[in-house]
Amino acid sequence: MRRLFLILSLLLTVSIVNAFSIDSVYVKQYNRVRYFCSDSVFYKLAHDGFIKSVDDLSDYYEDIFNYLPLDRQLQEISKVRREAKKYNSSQLDIEADYMYALVLPAGENNDISYKIAKMEEVVKKAERQNNMVMKIRAMEAIFNIYWKSSLYAKAFAQTYVIDEQLKNITAEEYPGRGYAYYQIGRAYYFFRNYDKAIPYLRQALKPPKYYFDRSNLLARNAIGSYYNLIGNTDSAEYYFRSAYFSVDNVKLKPVIDAVSLSNIGKCLISRGKPDDAIPYLRAGLNRMLMDNDYELASDVSLELAKSYLLKNDFKKTKTLIDSTQLFIRRTENTDLYQSLYPLMCCYYSKVGNKELALAFFDSTLMINKYFQDKYSSLILLKAEQDLYETKARVMNEDMKAKEDAFKYKIFYGSIIILIISVGLIVSIVLYHRNRMAYRALVYKNQEWASEMLPYATYESADVLEEEDKSEEKAIEEEQPTQEDVALMKEVHELVSKEKIFKNADLTLDLMAKQMSINRNYLSKAINQTTGKNFNTYINEYRVKEAIKILSNEKSDVISIDAIAFDVGFNNRTSFYQSFKKITGLSPSDFRSNKPTV
């Protein structure tokens, strides 16, 4: 009897496993099997709508559907179509169309035109059904298809369309609105167009209402990375810590916390504090390895290697370099080699291996060239598209003109002469306009250099772009206090009258010590009142002084390098960069275009 019971139990267990094996998928990245029941997801979508199903639907796509092989994906799509007929659901019907367009493989030579056409059909169908949510989802899918295919010009063109749609829908109507803004911001960030990236990322800085929505935390880390990149480590750390200590209850929060901790570590490296950075980076790396997220782990491992190299701990540096290479090989992301090769060059140079140092120096040059070509492909692609359209028009004109070759030659020659003539005229006009524009810039900057800086008054600087009240509340940006303004008056007096900016070794710590105040208090006052960091603030005084010197004809015998050192810059490069950024002209252009008496 007992044996019979065991046999029946075993048979029951096998039957249960077989019953659920259809709804399971093995995820190689995490080395585990995930079980799911898509029937319940689609039932909820059909009866409750997208808003109430968004978390379940997001989990299904992110954790299940994307990992299924193509034949299993097609089975799921067939199931959705059956459910659509069963429940007479237009929502499920268009969802099946959306899923089908997603899984369509690219054609020969990575041709995605058919895949794009099918997704555009979903956009049009959603528009006919007045289904704005699906319309935007399909538009975002088109953007992702272009982006993954490296058709960046078309991807960015799609962002304009998405942006217009997002203006006509609220976050309550479309829960993915914040993530859509984050995606657009990250795209511009990737191409280093920070002026466009940051406003989009700020649009994502709102507390989430759904478990799937990680856009707030991701945007905070992205904005923090931008501030760290430009040297504003105080603002960078604020955003990283605000992400880490956020109360957002969202998916993958522990992983994002690991990213935030690692970013704090990067911030500390930027401050030259590798010992303080290492614990943060270690904590982040351990969490990423727990989840087998080797793409994130490779980035953090590289930062740890930098930290130990700064400490001249070459043994640990080499171990972490090897780990970074291993992690990169386990992912499809090879972009990190752009940061790894310079580090390896520096490492081998420090340990005295000149041969390998030179080899990785060459590798650094090659990979930098690769990324330059990759970024310039956007311009080349646009040029190729314009050229193709122009050739098509010319071919149509040629077909009509073939009957009269003589007239065609005359016409063609006339066009060439006209183009050359117009080109010469335009060149002359542009030369004079540029000359006038340069002169105007010189006058404008001379006037600016003779005026009092606006932040020398009691008025506080508008350091943020205008945002809606709910976002201001979410970000909780501080405004300058009366104490900040009062302190800035003292700073202005010290800098402008005693001209301490001429000291090339001037630092925030040195000024704070000279004024007998805390460096953090001084940094906060400068940031909150002027909207600038310490270096930018001081460099404006230096550039003003340089303008005054360059405007004097007697200074023409003085070299630009001498002027740079005289006003407080410690090298020619930083002087040229600051002068160009502030005035719009290089020092030599300013000197050659100043008015003569």
Which residues touch 120 (CB under 8 Å, ≥6 apart)?
A: 138, 142
Q: In angstroms, rounded to a whole number, what is the distance separating the alpha carbons of residues 357 and 347?
A: 8
First to last CA, the chain: 116
Q: Where are the beta strands (DSSP E) in 177-253?
A: none
Phi/psi of residue 32, nearest 5 degrees: -150, 160
Do the domain assignments include residue 559? yes
pLDDT score at 46: 92
φ, ψ for residue 571 (rounded to 5)?
-160, 160
Dump pLDDT digits (tens) for 290-340: 888 888 899 999 999 999 999 999 999 999 999 999 988 888 777 788 888
Is the distance from CB of 317 to CB of 351 less than 8 angstroms?
no
Lookup result for tokens 């360059």? 550
**How many Cα atoms sit within 13 Å of 437 on the Cβ side?**
8
Element (H, E) at 246: none
Tally the residues of the chain.
597
Query: Domain for residue 79, yes or no?
Result: no
Is the residue at 496 inside a domain? yes
Q: What's the total number of domains in the chain?
A: 1
In a domain, 346, yes or no: no
The token pair at 432 is: 């004079």
**In terms of C-beta density within 10 A (0-12 exposed, 13-18 middle, 19 or more buried), how is residue 69 classed?**
exposed
Check residue 313 and report its DSSP letter: -
CA atoms within 13 A on the CB side of 332: 2
CATH assignment of the domain containing 551: 1.10.10.60
Confirm whether 417 is domain-assigned. no
Domain that holds residue 509: 491-593
Distance CA 597, CA 590 (A): 16
- Give the DSSP letter string of 139-194: HHHHHHHHHHTT-HHHHHHHHHHHHHHHTTS-TTT-TTHHHHHHHHHHHHHHTT-H
Spell out a b/e string for 455-485, using b for 16 or more CB atoms within 10 Å of the CB, else e. Answer: bbeeebeebeeebeeebeeebeeeebeeebb
Q: Would you state the pLDDT for residue 478? A: 62
Give me the residues paired with residue 502 across strands.
none
Residue 435's pLDDT is 63
Query: How many helices (H) and strands (E) would you count in the chain?
Result: 27, 2
CB neighbourhood size of 276 (10 A)? 15
Give Cα 406 to chain centroid, integer Å: 56
Closest C-alpha among 157, 189, 201 to residue 378: 157
Q: Note the pLDDT of residue 505.
A: 86
Per-residue pLDDT of the chain (597 residues; tens, 9 = 90+): 555 544 545 444 444 444 434 577 777 766 777 777 888 999 999 999 999 999 999 999 998 899 899 999 999 999 999 999 999 999 999 999 999 999 998 777 678 999 999 999 999 999 999 999 999 999 999 999 999 888 888 888 899 899 999 999 999 999 999 999 999 999 889 888 899 999 999 999 999 999 999 999 999 999 999 999 999 999 999 999 999 999 999 999 999 999 999 999 999 999 999 999 999 999 999 998 888 888 889 999 999 999 999 999 999 999 999 999 998 888 877 778 888 888 899 989 888 898 988 988 888 888 877 776 665 544 334 533 543 454 455 556 556 656 666 566 676 667 777 777 676 676 665 656 666 666 666 667 767 766 655 455 434 444 433 444 444 443 345 678 888 888 888 888 888 788 888 888 888 898 888 888 888 888 888 888 888 888 888 888 888 888 888 888 777 778 888 888 888 888 888 888 888 888 888 888 888 777 764
What pLDDT, on the 0 to 100 scale, is given for residue 381? 47
524 belongs to a structural domain: yes
| Predicted local distance difference test score (pLDDT) of residue 106 | 78
